[in-house]
Amino acid sequence: MKRCLAALGAVTLLTLAGCATDQPVANPSGASSAPAGAGTGEQSAFFEQSAYDAELALLQATPTGPADRPWEQALDPAMVDTASFRKAGPHRICFSNAALNNPWRQVGFKTMQAEVAAQGDRIAEFVHVEAEGKDQKQIADINDLLGRDCDALIVSPNTTATLTPAVEAACRTGLPVIVFDRGVDTDCPVTFINPIGGYGFGHVGAEFVSQRMKPGGKLLALRILPGVDVLETRWSAAKVAFDKAGVDVVGVEFTDGDPAKTKKIVDDYLQRYGTIDGVWMDAGAVAVAAVEAFQDAGKPVPPINGEDQLDFLKVWKEAGLTAIAPTYPTYQWRTPIIAALRILDGAQVADPWKLPQPTVTQENLDRYLDPEMPPLHYAMCGCTDLPGYPQRWK
Amino acid sequence: MSTQTLRRQLRPAQWARPGGLAPILAILVVLLVLITARQPDFLSPPSLMSFLGRSAPIILLAAGQYFVIVCGEFDLSVGALVTAQVVVAARLIDSDPTRTWPVVLVLLVGGALVGLVNGLVTTRLGVPSFVTTLGMFLVLVGAVYLWSDGAPKGGLTEEFRQYGRRAVEDVPLLGRIPYAVVILVLVATVAVLLTRADFGRILIAVGDNPRTARLSGVRVWRTRTAAFVLSGLAAAIAAILIGGYSGVSFQAGAGLEFGAITAVVLGGVALGGGRGSVVGAMLGATTLELLFALMNFYGISGALRPAVQGVIILVAVAVAARRSTSR
Amino acid sequence: MTTRSLLPARRPVPGVFVALAITWAIGWLVVLVDGGHLVNQSTTVSLLHVAAGLGFVAVGQTLVILGGSLDLSVAYVVSLSTLVAAETMAGRDSALLPAIGLTLLVSAGIGLLNGLLVTAGRINAFIATLGVGLLLKGYLDNGYAGPAGTTSPALVQTLGYQRVGPVPLAFLLLLLVAGACWFALARTRFGHHLLAVGGDEEVARLSGVRTHRVRVTAHVLCSLCAGIAGVYLASRLGSGAPRVGSEGLYDLESIAAVVIGGTALAGGRGGVVGTIGGVLLLAAIDAVFNQLAVDAFAKQVVRGVIIIAAVAVYARGTLRKVAG
């Protein structure tokens, strides 16, 4: 113990005589948030009223851009000038990816690769580095990419606050940086691309379920994991909707994305309360398992929300569920490639680039349900016009 | 050879944690009382059957893990093996009912093969099983992701899923008996018979003191390899039940290895080998699942659950350790 | 875990460095053919940073494993430490030293708990540290919805991003910590006792070693090292992160680095030098796969095979020694 402290002291001395640094100039701002309970009662530390209001307003906004290409559309765009990044092609585009560890990211990444292929000669090389869901590795990855002659850098951050310093360091090299999916706490990237976001997702599902379930009924909320920012925003928006509608939320449980665990939880809640009148989920991964739990118990499936994964859409149609599927569209993986090339052309791009976030409803269900695609494929991939469809996604 | 003579030559106290069934039964009863206090109909036949059915996979895995642990080894690869098997089954069956039985056979053979490799690498190459099976864990998860290109494909048929999901209906007294419970009873019987046979006694002797066992003419490496094969087989059956119960997913087996090992230790089996019974291991798994149901019935906040689970495991194992040393 | 014989307490510098050199050479060649360069400033800096994070944890893990124990709670100790450090600092340089002190104190406390459960509580280390890990996970899950706190700018500038040529300061700190541990193992009574306890606890006790005290000390040192890793990660990330340890798989990867480095999982044989080699080997594989942009899944298969193969090679050596 003494030794470790001594070692630490020695290093503190060493730091006084530094020679070179990769440290970004600005200190990460807004990185702090107070710890708060993640239980049913308290609002999540991630909840921001202004962002919530803005996202709900965007749900009503009309996008600009080609209607049949939602990945090129933008909601309320504010254009920024990119003439200073203009460069002759072909280009080397680099991508620091947070992870490939779930079907959503898999489908998205395949879509991105197909978009690269669709751009043909314009992209000489597409360099992809994956951080396996590790902040520490992604910070190192971004630093690594800075030494590899990239013409543009795309980042899909693993965590907002903790990746901010690394993205700032990348901006300072003069490289055009494009961030998508999760954001960072800095304005230095040329643009930040994402769909409307978690509040919109959580709100759409919660509003539907609370309107359709019987008044005064019991609702079970199934979440994947605590402490993941995009999922926290979904839950916090749902909580606002449930509080407003006076819904009796009898449980908020974490499933770890494990279908077996989900079925056990639903089973026990059914036994404990006799009936459950509504189910809200923060992601579609285990929606089918939740539906099956009701079916296996011989109970009617209550109003429920899922996501645009095909296994859920299929069960929805076959069992005639009262359901809705808000989406976090995977077509957003196409946009960063398109944005990078526009920036390297010196053309204007939207910043932030807010993509529309369609919802699958009873009315348009048939349009999205393609029985030929694999069960965990996401209907909102916007990939049907891309090279290699459908084989690449199968 | 007699196990009594071997038992006398105890190995260092480090891994030796003796135990009978008394502590685990006590914990089980306490949990059952707590649950029925909150949910009186939990012990009614339909509810109990459904609970046993959904718990069958982890109980089977605990039984498989028992064989490995009691002869002094670990199997950390079972969770990854279950995931791999479920994903492989979905892709091979590809929603074609005629392929159900051939694929079930492939899974069983595959499980046994993985166990065989674990066993041979451990015994013939001298790699500690913790490392062998940790490596196998990484290889299996990586390989199945690679093979399925990152997202499960195909689909499981109703014929395959019925074993984990459906039940024998209209049984007098009990109502319905899930197929999973039938399979559980069959496998548990085989497991108990195995431990009662010479093989079971040799396993314990090997775990108790491999050198002495070797000197008494036991082929230690064969015994241990057989234990790994049994664990692989148990994982294959568990995979069939889990795939049936909840469908195909990359999360199918996540964390099951730690669950199974914890269950075995709760059941009074000594890590390091030489002590414990397969019944204890299976009761340990039942206890863990009861704990999960208990937290559902009492509405313990989802985020706090790991902490509650951690405390209960620590207390239970510490109490069991105290009891056994005060004797 | 089973052969607990009294083999020589130390072995020559492990073959892991040979493996490291070979991996490096092959990787360099393959990357060159692929049209890239493995050895450049930014890749080297990145590699050493990844190695530093895992390195602190793995050095600590080496100590408990040498003593015949194991620590599966380190990943959560790392996460907790980033939060304690960043929240205490709250962006103020003035709070730097108290925050580091508090972080180390908290992590040492967890180590003490682990050690007492294993020794006085007589709970197997696997279960004891798994249980403590679950406890910490529950605390983190319940208390934190995401990153919290702000690391002091001075720490971010120094430990987080400062480097001497291509070598990050954090890596130098790792070498210092490893050096201190090497010294403790090779030159102090604690080190000899630890190896004796790991080799055969009964024999050690009979020869007058206070086995409980030695093992508790090892657990405290291990958690302290995880605490240092937490401080370092807080300096890299700029805030505390409740999931950084478990997402980083620091528990299993640290054990992997230790066994690749030639330390016997049963205890009693090995050392921190090999562990540093193991950490560098894992980081080098990362770097090569990064350069080639190969799927992480393939990398996982390679890692699994390397772990088994490395230990099989060591086991060969041991078997031959026993036979001879």
> What is the domain partition of chain A in residue ranges?
71-196+329-357, 198-326
Computed over every residue of chain C, the mean pLDDT equals 89
B134: Cβ contacts below 8 Å, ≥ 6 apart: B76, B77, C252, C255, C256, C304, C307
Is the pLDDT score of C35 beyond 80? no
Residues in contact with B100: Cβ distance below 8 Å, sequence separation at least 6, in sequence order: B93, B157, B159, B160
Averaged confidence pLDDT in chain B: 89
Q: Which residues of chain B have a CB within 8 Å of the CB of A296?
A: 165
Q: Do B303 and C138 touch (CB under 8 A)?
A: yes
Question: Is the previous residue joined to A352 through a cis bond, with omega within 30 degrees of 0?
Answer: yes
Contacts of C141 in chain B (CB under 8 A): 302-304, 306
Helix (H, G, I), strand (E, B) or coil at C255: helix
DSSP C73: -
Instruction: Give the lowest-confidence range in B48-52, B156-160, B268-272.
Output: B268-272
Q: Using an 8 Å Cβ cutoff, are C282 and C260 in contact? A: yes
Task: Enumerate the residues of chain A whose CB falls inside 8 A of the CB of residue B242.
Answer: 260
- Flag whether residue B161 sits within 8 Å of chain A, measured between CB atoms: no
Q: How far is CA A83 from the centre of its chain?
A: 30
- Does A4 contact C at CB distance below 8 Å? yes
- Would you tell me how many other CB atoms lie within 10 Å of the CB of residue B165? 24
Residue C232 lies in a domain: yes
> The domain containing residue C281 runs over which residues?
16-23+40-317
Fold of the domain built from segment(s) A198-326: Rossmann fold (3.40.50)
pLDDT at residue number B273: 85
d(CA C292, CA C289): 5
What's residue A21's pLDDT?
Answer: 53
State the Cα–Cα distance between residues C100 and A281, nearest whole angstrom: 40
Q: Are C277 and C16 in contact (CB under 8 A)?
A: yes
Residue C69 lies in a domain: yes
**Residue A390: is the preceding peptide bond cis (ω within 30°)?**
yes
CA A114 to chain CA centroid, nearest Å: 20
At A62, is the secondary structure helix, strand, or coil? Answer: coil
What is the model's pLDDT at position C6?
37
Please name the residue of chain B whose CA is at the shortest distance from the CA of residue A249. B299
Count how many pairs of residues, chain B against chain C, have C-beta atoms within 8 Å. Answer: 171
Instruction: Report the chain B residue with the minimal C-alpha distance to residue C143.
Output: B303
Q: Is B320 on the interface with C (CB under 8 A)?
A: no
pLDDT score recorded for residue A35: 32
Residue type, B275: R
Structural domains of chain C, count? 1
Q: Which residue has the tokens 């060591």?
A: C314
Instruction: Closest CB to A14: pick one of C36, C169, C217.
Output: C169
Give the distance from CA C82 to its chain's centroid. 16
Q: Which residues contact residue A185 at a Cβ distance below 8 angstroms, ignoring those fewer than 6 apart?
A: A28, A29, A30, A31, A160, A161, A164
How confident is residue B19, by pLDDT bands cut at 50, 70 and 90? Answer: low
pLDDT for the residue numbered A19? 47
| Cα dihedral sign, A172-C168-C57-C278 | positive
The answer to whether residues C212 and C219 touch, using CB atoms and an 8 Å cutoff, is no
**A to C CB pairs, distance under 8 Å:** 210
Residue C324 lies in a domain: no
Restricting to B residues 215-274, those with a Cβ less than 8 Å away from any Cβ of C are 258, 261-262, 265, 270-273
The pLDDT value recorded for residue A30 is 35
Q: Which of B135, B306, B310 sits opposite C304 (nearest CB)?
A: B135
Burial of C292 (0-12, 13-18, 19+ CB in 10 A): middle
Q: Using the predicted structure, report yes or no on whether residue C322 has a pLDDT greater than 80.
A: no
Assess: ipTM above 0.95: no
Residue B23, CA atoms < 13 Å, CB-side half-sphere: 26
pLDDT tier at B324, thresholds 50, 70, 90: low
Q: Give the gyration radius of chain C's Cα atoms.
A: 20
In contact, C145 and A38? CB cutoff 8 Å: yes
DSSP A120: G
The string of pLDDT tens digits covering residues C224-271 is: 999 999 999 999 999 999 999 998 899 999 999 999 998 988 888 999
Which residue among B155, B246, B293 sits closest to A375, beta carbon to beta carbon? B155
Q: Which residue has the tokens 């049949």?
A: A68
Contact A139 C236 (CB under 8 A): yes
| Nearest chain B Cα distance for residue A268, angstroms | 6
Q: How far is B246 from chain A (nearest CA, A)?
A: 5
**Residue C7 domain-assigned?**
no
Amino acid at C119: T
Residue in chain B nearest C309 by alpha carbon: B127
Quote the DSSP letter at residue C148.
B
Chain B residues with beta carbon closer than 8 angstroms to that of A254: 302-303, 305
Say if B300 is an interface residue toward chain A (CB within 8 Å). no
Domains, chain B, ranges and CATH?
A: 3-326 (1.10.3470)
Asked if the structure places residue C226 within a domain, the reply is yes
Rounded-to-integer distance, Cα B7 and Cα B2, Å:
9
Residue C227 lies in a domain: yes
Residues 6+ apart with CB under 8 A from C35: none
Instruction: Flag if B304 and C142 touch (Cβ within 8 Å).
Output: yes
Which residues in C lie closer than 8 A to residue B81 (C-beta atoms)? none
C100 interaction partners in chain A (CB closer than 8 Å): 8
Examine residue C28 and state whether it is found in any structural domain, yes or no: no
In the sheet that holds A359-360, the strands lie side by side as A248-254, A218-223, A278-281, A304-305, A323-326, A359-360
For C81-127, write each residue's pLDDT tens digit.
Answer: 999 999 999 999 999 999 999 999 999 999 999 999 999 998 999 99
B310 in contact with C at a CB cutoff of 8 Å? yes
**C32 found inside a domain:** no
Using an 8 Å Cβ cutoff, are C16 and C262 in contact?
yes
Contact yes or no for C124/B317 (Cβ under 8 A): yes
Is C33 exposed, middle or buried (CB count within 10 Å of its CB: 0-12, 13-18, 19+)? exposed
**Distance, CA of B204 to CA of B209 (rounded, Å):** 9
Q: Does A78 touch chain C (CB under 8 A)?
A: no
Query: What is the model's pLDDT at position A2?
Result: 42
Question: Which member of A38, A268, A374 has the closest CB to residue B293?
Answer: A268
How far is the C-alpha of C133 from the C-alpha of B255, rounded, in Å? Answer: 14
Other CB atoms within a 10 A radius of the CB of residue A258 amount to 25
**Which of C25-39, C194-208, C225-239 comes out lowest in average pLDDT?**
C25-39
Amino acid identity of residue A343, one-letter, is: I
Q: Which helix (H) or strand (E) is B296 found in, with range?
A: helix B278-298
Confidence of residue B21 (pLDDT cuts 50, 70, 90): confident
Answer yes or no: do C123 and B321 touch at CB < 8 A. Answer: yes
Which chain B residues are Cβ-neighbours of C256 within 8 angstroms?
Answer: 134
What per-residue confidence (pLDDT) applies to B173? Answer: 81
CA distance A32 to C237: 12
- Residues C286 and B102 sit within 8 Å (Cβ to Cβ): no
- Tell me the pLDDT tens digit for each residue of A242-270: 999 989 999 999 999 999 999 999 999 99
- A134/C248 CB distance under 8 A: yes
Side-by-side strand order, sheet with A152-156: A123-130, A91-97, A152-156, A177-180, A191-195, A353-355
Place of tokens 């599902």: A205
Verify whether the Cβ–Cβ distance C236 to A136 is below 8 Å: yes
Phi-psi label, residue A274: left if phi above 0, alpha if psi -120 to 50, beta otherwise: left
Class of domain A71-196+329-357: alpha beta
Which residues of chain A carry a pLDDT beneath 70?
Answer: 1-41
For A125, the 3-state DSSP assignment is strand
Partner residue facing A296 (CB), from B165, B249, B302: B165
Site from C237, C295, C302 to mutate, A interface, most A CB atoms within 10 angstroms = C237
CA–CA separation, A61 vs A75, rounded Å? 7
Binding-face residues of A in 142-181 toward C, CB within 8 A? 143-148, 158-162, 164-165
Cβ-based contacts of A376 with chain B (< 8 Å): 151-152
pLDDT tier at B274, thresholds 50, 70, 90: confident
Q: Name the phi and psi angles at B27, rounded to 5.
A: -60, -45
